[in-house]
Amino acid sequence: MPSDAATAPHAAVGRATVRVDGPLKVSGAARYTSDFHFPGMLYAVPVGATIASGTIAAIDTRAAEAMPGVRKVYTRHNIGKFYRVPTSSKALINERRPPLDDDAVHYYGQYIALVVADTFEHATAAARKVKASYSAVTNPNVSTSLAPAMGDASGKLPANEPRQPDSERGDPDAAFASASVQVDHTYNTPFETHSSIELHASVATFDGVRFTLYETTQAVMNSRQLIAQMLGVPTEDVRIVTEFLGTGFGGKGSVWPHSLLAAAAARDLRQPVKLVLTREETFECVGHRPHTQQRIRLGATSDGKLVSLRHDFIYSRARLTEYRENCGESSSFMYSTPNLRITSAFAGRDTGVATTMRGPGAVPGMYALESAMDELAVALKMDPVELRLKNEPAIDESKNIPFSSRHLKECLTTGAEKFGWSRRKPEIGSMRDGDVILGWGVAACTWMAARIPAQASVMFNADGSVRVASATQDIGTGTYTVLAQMVSQLTGVTVDRVKVVIGDTTLPPGPFSGGSMATASLVPAVAQAAREAIGRLLAAAAEGDSHFDKASVAQLDFHQGRVHRKGQQPNEGRSFEDVLAAARLGHVEGHGKSAGTRDEEHPAYSTHSFGAHFVEVAWQPEIARLRVNRAVTVIDAGRIINPLMGRNQIEGAVTMGIGMALFEETNYDARNGMPVNSNLADYIMATHADTPPMDVIFLDYPDTHLNEMGARGIGEIGLAGIAAAITNAVYHATGVRVRDLPVHIEDLLIAA
């Protein structure tokens, strides 16, 4: 077996490889969901509720039905049957209520009807003619003040969730009370909307028995399972296809109601139905990052050793979901402290349901924790890098197990050196570049690493190609390319000869793209599949290829795509396509199947990625202009399979973090519960012009406890901590400590 592949000169893993799907994307040949067209295609446009809480009294569809091109207008009375998902199901679904289930309205924009017409324009025009009246309308609660105030009278637990702490050790109350330095602040992060460039879409076809749904999903297998369940058909009768995604940021992990509407219309009309949400609808109906309010209490000795850490958080929760934003996920192991408690609660809100958004839990959580660490450093008059180095734990103190691979200290020291941190003057507003005041901030970051179950197949083809297949999908992060690199690494066949087939539930069940787990999960399955395929290739050579006359399988080896005798060079052997030709085989195939690590009850290691962000902001008080000038990010995420795409992920996350820190917030109108800034002009995100020079460094320590290639995941880690690094820099420049994201110009006008 090619155990030396990693060190071979042709090693594909670790090489900066351009995206194998790049030409398809830049030429427009890549087919995204809404690109699929079929003969007889009809277009569906949903009608959303214009209240956030109440009951539908009546829906008048007559005017809409009389509009040109309209085929049918659906309400709950004629959409056909949907079934519920049992609460025992662990599948990814944040809104379990089937669409049009009853007359109750739980949030603004909730679908109450569906118009299907011969064109998108006709359907849109008719949808506006559907008139609903409501009863029992109540004022929606969309408040961003997540009262009741944190904690009960004793301060031990939030009032509305009387249950066990999420994590606890020692006596954090006594330790905090007697700590010589204390920090106690509450941080807010706003509702945020994913705002992927590709709108959610569903193209549904039904042949009388089977559904084929072209979906914008980060989880084809999950979609198949849930949609089959909700349509009440066998899983085998649903096929999900997602060839390309214009990203998802977690917003396309769950199954959303519009997919069911499209399928039901196709089921009823027996014609293909295309449903593409509007940008406004994506703010209403397909999830968001919930609002969070987090109180952090840190107690430390006068020389900066943490003695107590408490993290009590509340998150907004819509009526229709159990989605939990676990802000405290990282706080239990990030720093060494003998006394700690993390508690959580939620506050009910009349909004669409929340869902995972890039770095769910840890991203808002690390904003709060890393802001508090900066405030502690200020209180201690200690350098914030030094404070973090001083509180580095030897093990995961929340579980009392070692870290599989943790290099946070090196992230901090390497970043500090690259950034020039030693030149930092701690006094507020003390660093200048001409008339511009500079602020320097730092924050650490972390994100989980785990594997989920995965299957894959690898096939050597007689045409000289190698095919790797798995029912996973590429959300734009580079799964196509990473799979090609893995197979190249395992077989020695160059990347350009590897055909990657994903995004289709007819393939071996693959992992969802979420939690930064897809790559790590695929490694063992693909490795096993490749080895099995190589084994079969060697058997074919031994049996069917006279070139290896009388050789046994044990005497053969495989390198650089060539079968050869052990002890000989690959070029003395035969290419695999020649072997297949000699054996008169079209292909040989291997399968791989690997279990997940995420639900291990007693893991031997605590497995996480780590990193550090260093940020410089430029502050011009005379015009209240704040910009991010530069960022240095050091990431410890195991072996980086592709440094080009890896850097791309971190740069994208830092850019998104600039948006999180300075711009992004979804505003709900308290009068009707409507997300008001539901377009890309009013929902402010970072543009290219806001993107500073970024220096991304990977430490590249393989984490072989997770998989043989040592790869963890890099999709989310870069967004953790970055908002805190920016607000810490803002404080350094302006003296204004912003504890409610995003930083607004109006917050800074008081600075000068």
Partner 1 sequence: METFTFSRAADPAEAIMAGAAASTAQQGAEVRFVAGGTTLIDLMKLDVETPKRVVDINRLPLAKVERAPDGGLKIGALVRNSDLAHSADVQRDYPVLSEALLSGASGQLRNMATTGGNLLQRTRCIYFRNTDTPCNKREPGSGCSAIEGFNRNLAVLGTSEQCIASNPSDMNVALTALEATIVIQGVQGERRVPIGEFFLLPGDTPNRETVMQPGDLITHVLLPPPHPGARSHYLKLRDRASYEFALASAAVVLASEGGAIRHARVALGGVGTRPWRSPEAEAALLSKPATRATFAAASEAAVRGAKPYSQNGFKIELAKRCLTSALATATA
Catalytic sites, residue numbers: 716
Please report the beta strands in 560-666, taking only residues with DSSP state E, as ranges in sequence order. Answer: 562-565, 574-575, 587-594, 608-620, 625-636
Among 138, 571, 671, 693, interactor with partner 1 by CB under 8 A = 671
- Residue 78 or 119: the one with the smaller Cβ distance to partner 1 is 119
The residue among 28 and 208 lying less far from partner 1, judged by its C-beta, is: 28
CA–CA distances in Å: residue 378 to residues 186, 188, 208, 373, 618: 17, 20, 67, 9, 20
Of 177 and 749, CB closest to partner 1: 749
- One of 271, 521, 597, 672 touching partner 1 (CB under 8 A): 672
To partner 1, the closest distance from the beta carbon of 366 in angstroms equals: 23
Nearest approach in angstroms of CB 675 to partner 1 is 10
State which of residues 16, 29, 682, 693 lies at the interface with partner 1 (CB under 8 A): 682
CA separation, residue 244 to residues 198, 255, 260, 359, 652 (Å): 10, 17, 20, 22, 18
Other beta carbons within 10 angstroms of residue 239's beta carbon come to 18
Kindly report the CA angle at 484 between 217 and 219, in degrees rounded to 5?
15
* Distance of alpha carbon 49 from alpha carbon 54, whole angstroms: 10
The sign of the CA dihedral 620, 621, 624, 628 is: positive
DSSP secondary structure letter of residue 215: E
689 burial type by CB count under 10 A (0-12 exposed, 13-18 middle, 19+ buried): exposed
Sign of the torsion angle spanned by Cα atoms 190, 193, 195, 196: positive
State which of residues 79, 263, 617, 686 lies at the interface with partner 1 (CB under 8 A). Answer: 686
- Under DSSP, the state recorded for 726 is H
The answer to whether the beta carbons of residues 446 and 362 sit under 8 Å apart is yes
Amino acid making up residue 460: F
Instruction: Copy the structure tokens of residue 421.
Output: 């941190």
Span interacting with partner 1, options 74-82, 378-386, 475-483, 660-668, rule CB under 8 A = 660-668
Q: Coil, strand or helix: which one is 131?
A: strand
Residue whose tokens read 């000699």: 582
Q: With binding defined as CB under 8 A, does residue 554 bind partner 1?
A: no
Cβ nearer to partner 1, comparing 285 with 711: 285
Q: Of 82, 403, 619, 663, which lies in the binding site for partner 1, with binding defined by CB under 8 A?
A: 663
Residue span binding partner 1 (CB under 8 A) among the ranges 372-380, 414-422, 606-614, 740-748? 740-748
CA distance 601 to 607: 14
Query: What is the distance between the alpha carbons of residues 400 and 409, in angstroms, rounded to a whole number?
Result: 20
| Whole-Å CA distances, 484 to 23, 681, 708 | 15, 38, 16
44's torsion region: left (phi>0), alpha (psi -120 to 50) or beta?
A: beta
Which of these segments, 220-228, 554-562, 661-669, 724-732, binds partner 1 (CB under 8 A)? 661-669
Contact with partner 1 (CB under 8 A) among 677, 708, 737, 740: 677
Of 291-299, 497-505, 506-514, 664-672, the segment contacting partner 1 by CB under 8 A is: 664-672
Q: Which stretch binds partner 1 (CB under 8 A): 93-101, 328-336, 348-356, 671-679?
A: 671-679
Q: Which of 544, 540, 545, 542 is nearest to 553 (CA)?
A: 542
Sort 435 into a burial class: Cβ within 10 Å, 0-12 / 13-18 / 19+: exposed
Q: Residue 344's beta-bridge partner residues?
A: 313
- Closest approach of Cβ 622 to partner 1, in Å? 6
Choose, by CB under 8 A, the member of 667, 704, 735, 737 that binds partner 1. 667
**Closer Cβ to partner 1, 438 or 686, answer by number:** 686
**DSSP conformational letter for 353:** P
Pairing of strands 574-575, 562-565: antiparallel
Q: CB 225: neighbour CB atoms within 10 A? A: 22
Separation between Cα atoms, residue 466 and residue 472, nearest integer Å: 18
Binding mask 618-657 for partner 1 (x = CB under 8 A): ----xxxx-x------------------------------
Q: Which of 532, 669, 695, 700 binds partner 1 (CB under 8 A)?
A: 669
DSSP state, residue 331: T
Q: How many residues bind partner 1 (CB under 8 A)?
A: 33
Q: Minimum distance from CB of 664 to partner 1 (Å)?
A: 10
Q: What's the closest the beta carbon of residue 55 comes to partner 1, in angstroms? A: 18
Which segment (253-261, 452-460, 685-693, 723-731) binds partner 1 by CB under 8 A? 685-693
**Where does this chain touch partner 1 (CB under 8 A) — which range of 143-151, 190-198, 638-646, 669-677?**
669-677
Letters for 48-67 (x = contact with partner 1 by CB under 8 A, - = none) are: --x-----------------
Please state whether 209 falls in left (phi above 0), alpha (psi between -120 and 50) or beta.
alpha
Query: Please, what is the minimum distance in Å from the beta carbon of residue 723 to partner 1?
Result: 15
Nearest-approach distance from CB 126 to partner 1, in angstroms = 11
Q: How far is the CB of 425 from partner 1 (least distance, A)?
A: 26
> What length is written for the chain?
752
What is the token pair recorded at 444?
């650490």
**Amino acid, single-letter form, for residue 583:** A
- The three-class DSSP label of residue 113 is strand
Query: Which sign, positive or negative, has the C-alpha torsion 150, 152, 155, 157?
Result: negative
**CB 689, min distance to partner 1, A:** 4
Q: Which residue from 68, 234, 586, 693 is in contact with partner 1, where contact means CB under 8 A?
A: 68
- Tokens in use for 66? 């009389």
Of 237, 410, 690, 708, which lies in the binding site for partner 1, with binding defined by CB under 8 A? 690
Q: Give min distance, CB of 330 to partner 1, in A.
A: 29
Q: List, in sequence order, every beta strand (DSSP E) within 621-669.
A: 625-636
If DSSP codes are grouped into helix, strand and coil, which group holds residue 515?
Answer: coil
For partner 1, give the closer residue by CB, 209 or 681.
681
Question: Among residues 69 and 596, whose Cβ is nearest to partner 1?
Answer: 69
Q: How far, CA to CA in Å, does 255 sit from each of 52, 109, 245, 691?
A: 21, 17, 15, 33
Contact set for partner 1, span 107-166 (CB under 8 A): 121, 124-125, 128
Find the part of the chain contacting partner 1 (CB under 8 A) among 6-14, 446-454, 493-501, 673-681: 673-681
Residue (591 or 627) nearer to partner 1, CB: 627
Smallest distance from the beta carbon of 727 to partner 1, in angstroms? 15
Candidate list 662, 699, 706, 714; residue touching partner 1; CB under 8 A: 662
Exactly one of 163, 301, 687, 693 binds partner 1 (CB under 8 A); that residue is: 687
Distance from C-alpha of 223 to C-alpha of 49, rounded to nearest angstrom: 25
Of residues 283, 212, 292, 203, the one with CA closest to residue 251 = 283
Q: Which of 57, 147, 177, 749 binds partner 1 (CB under 8 A)?
A: 749
User: Minimum distance from CB of 68 to partner 1 (Å)?
Assistant: 7
Stretch binding partner 1 (CB under 8 A), from 240-248, 252-260, 483-491, 684-692: 684-692
Token pair belonging to 111: 């679908």
In angstroms, give the least distance from the CB of 682 to partner 1.
6
Selected from 57, 177, 604, 745, the binder of partner 1 by CB under 8 A is 745
H/E stretch holding 652: helix 643-662
Return the residue of 255, 448, 674, 751 that touches partner 1, per CB under 8 A: 674
Name the residue nearer to partner 1 (CB basis): 392 or 669. Answer: 669
Residues that bind partner 1 (CB under 8 A): 50, 68, 121, 124-125, 128, 622-625, 627, 662-663, 667, 669, 671-672, 674, 676-677, 681-682, 684-690, 744-746, 749
